[in-house]
Structure 1
C-alpha cells in the first residue's frame, strides 16, 4: 500500500473519530483529537496555550473561535446542552499534501435537546444540513484537527421564508 493512500485512510479515520466522539459526548476524546501547542513544538512553559491561536473553529451560526481553550469550551457547552446528536456524513472528500490534510463533507445532523420541563423524554429532534471543512495536521501521535468550519446549507424553504415577492 502506498504512503499517500495510507495517509488518506488515516485522515478518514481521524475525521470519523471526531464525529463519533461528538455523538458519544466524549469531551476527553474530542479534546485529544484537537491539535495542541506541544504538537506544534510550542513550549507551553513559555507560551500560554490558550493564547497560542493554534486552532480555530466555526460552528454553524457562530463567530470564529480561536485558540484551543476557546474552541474546547465551545464543545463543552454544546455537549452540556445537547442530549442527542447523530451525524450522517455524505460527500466526504479527503486531500493530503505533506503534513496537512483537508476533509470536506456534508453533515446531515439529527439532534435533540433536554426534555421539556417536567418531562423525562428527549426533546424534539431537529434535522440540520451543514457543509464542513476540517483541516488536519500530522503529529507524532497521528492526524489531529487544526480547524473545523461548518456552515448551514439553505434549503428552498429557507430561501422562500425571506422572499416577500408574490408568486
Structure 2
C-alpha cells in the first residue's frame, strides 16, 4: 500500500471520527480532533490557546469562528441543544498534499431538538442538506481538523428553472 493511499485512509478515518463524535455528543472526543496551538508550534506560555486563531469554523448561517475557544464553545452549544443528530455523508472526496488534506462532502443531516410537550421522547426530526469542506493537518498524533466550513444548500425554485426570460 502506498503512502498516499495510507494518508487518504487516515484522513477519511479522522473525518469519520469527527462526525461520529458529533452524533454521539462526545465533546471530549471532538476536542481531541481539532488542532491545538502546540500542534502548530505555538508556545502556549506566550499565547492564550483559547485566543490563538489557529483553527476556524463556519456553521451554516453563522459568522466565522476563529480560535480553539470559540470553535469548541460552538460545538458545546450545538451538542447541548440537539437531542439527536445523524450525518449521512455522500460525495466524499479526499485530497492530500504533503501535511495538508482537504475533504469535501455533502452532509445529509437528520436532527431533532427537545420534545415539544411533556412525555414525548424527541421533538420532530428535521432534515438538512449541507455542503462541507474540512481541512486537516498532519500532526505527531495523526490528522487533526484545521478548519470546517459548512453551508446549507438552498432549495431550488422550480419557477426559476422554467423561466426563460432574461434576468
Considering the TM-score relative to the shorter chain, is it more than 0.5? yes
SS in 1 for 2:50: helix
TM-score norm. by structure 2 comes to: 0.93
> Which 5+ residue runs of structure 2 have no aligned equivalent?
none
- 1:142 is aligned to 142
In structure 1, distance between residues paired with 2:88 and 2:4 = 26
- 1:83 is aligned to 83
> Which 5+ residue runs of structure 1 have no aligned equivalent?
none
SS in 2 for 1:49: coil
Map Cα deviations across residues 96-115 of structure 1 (whole Å, 9 max, x no partner).
Answer: 00000000000000000011
Residue 9 (1) aligns with residue 9 (2): yes
Residue 41 (1) aligns with residue 52 (2): no
- 2:50 is aligned to 50
SS in 1 for 2:7: helix
Alignment of 1:146-165 (within 5 A): 146-156=146-156, 159=157
In structure 2, distance between residues paired with 1:146 and 1:58 = 12
In structure 1, distance between residues paired with 2:96 and 2:41 = 21
Map Cα deviations across residues 2-47 of structure 1 (whole Å, 9 max, x no partner).
Answer: 1011000000000000000100000000000000001111111111
Per-residue deviation, 1:161: 9.9
In structure 1, distance between residues paired with 2:57 and 2:112 = 22
Per-residue deviation, 1:51: 1.7
In angstroms, what is the RMSD of aligned CA positions? 1.5
SS in 1 for 2:138: strand
In structure 2, distance between residues paired with 1:5 and 1:113 = 39
In the alignment of these two chains, the number of paired residues is 161
Per-residue deviation, 1:121: 1.2
Alignment of 1:82-161 (within 5 A): 82-156=82-156, 159=157
Residue 67 (1) aligns with residue 67 (2): yes
